[in-house]
Amino acid sequence: MIGIIGGSGLDDPRILKGTKELEVITPYGKPSSPLTIGKIKGVGVVILARHGKKHTIMPSNVNYRANIWALKEQGCTHIIATSACGSLREEIKPGHLVFVDQFIDRTTKRHSTFYDKDKVCHIPMAEPFCPELRKLLAEAAKRLKLRYHEKGTVITIEGSRFSTKAESNMFRQWGADVINMSTVPEVVLAKEAGLHYQVIAMSTDYDCWHEVEESVDIQMVLRIMKQNSENVKKLILETIPKIKEHKECGCETLIEGAIIGGEEEVDEHIKEKGFIEMDIKSLIRTVPHFPKKGIMFRDITTLIKDAKGFKKVIDDLTERYKDKKIDVVVGIESRGFIFGGAIAYSLGVGFVPIRKPGKLPAETVAQEYSLEYGADKIEVHKDAILPGQHVLIVDDLLATGGTCSAAATLVEKLGGKVVECAFVINLPDLKGKEKLNSYPIFTMVEFEGE
Choice between 9 and 113, residue whose per-residue pLDDT is larger:
113
CA 308, CA 268: separation in Å to the nearest integer? 8
CATH 3.40.50.2020 region(s) of the chain?
312-446
pLDDT at 274 > cutoff 80:
no
CA 428, CA 151: separation in Å to the nearest integer? 50
CATH 3.40.50.1580 region(s) of the chain?
2-253
pLDDT at 68 > cutoff 80:
yes
Q: Which CATH class is domain 2-253?
A: alpha beta
Q: Indicate which residues carry an active-site annotation.
A: 205, 207
Q: What pLDDT, in 10s, does the model give residues 394-427?
A: 999 999 999 999 999 999 999 999 999 999 999 9
Give the pLDDT band (50/70/90) at residue 248: confident
Give pLDDT, residue 278. 41
Q: What pLDDT, in 10s, does the model give residues 318-334?
A: 999 999 999 999 999 99
Q: What pLDDT, in 10s, does the model give residues 131-151?
A: 999 999 999 999 999 999 999
CATH code assigned to 312-446: 3.40.50.2020
Q: What pLDDT, in 10s, does the model give residues 285-322?
A: 888 888 888 888 999 999 999 888 899 899 989 999 99
pLDDT at 269 > cutoff 60:
no
pLDDT at 282 > cutoff 90:
no
Q: What pLDDT, in 10s, does the model give residues 147-176?
A: 999 999 999 999 999 999 999 999 999 999
CA 62, CA 183: separation in Å to the nearest integer? 11
HEC secondary structure over the chain: CEEEECCCCCCCCCCCEEEEEECCCECCECCCCCEEEEEECCEEEEEECCCCCCCCCCHHHCCHHHHHHHHHHCCCCEEEEEEEEEECCCCCCCCCEECCCEEEEECCCCCCCCCCCCCEECCCCCCCCCHHHHHHHHHHHHHCCCCEECCCEEEEECCCCCCCHHHHHHHHHCCCCEEECCHHHHHHHHHHCCCEEEEEEEEEECCCCCCCCCCCCHHHHHHHHHHHHHHHHHHHHHHHHHHHHCCCCCHHHCCCCCEECCCCCCCHHHHHHCCCCCCHHHHCEEEECCCCCCCEEEECHHHHCCHHHHHHHHHHHHHHHCCCCCCEEEEECCHHHHHHHHHHHHHCCEEEEEECCCCCCCCEEEEEEECCCCEEEEEEECCCCCCCCEEEEEEEEECCCHHHHHHHHHHHHCCCEEEEEEEEEECHHHCHHHHCCCCCEEEEEECCCC
Q: What is the arithmetic mean of pLDDT over 23-39?
A: 89
Give the pLDDT band (50/70/90) at residue 266: very low
Mean pLDDT of the chain: 89
CA 107, CA 391: separation in Å to the nearest integer? 54
Question: Could you count the other beta carbons within 10 Å of the beta carbon of residue 91?
Answer: 8
Give pLDDT, residue 372. 58
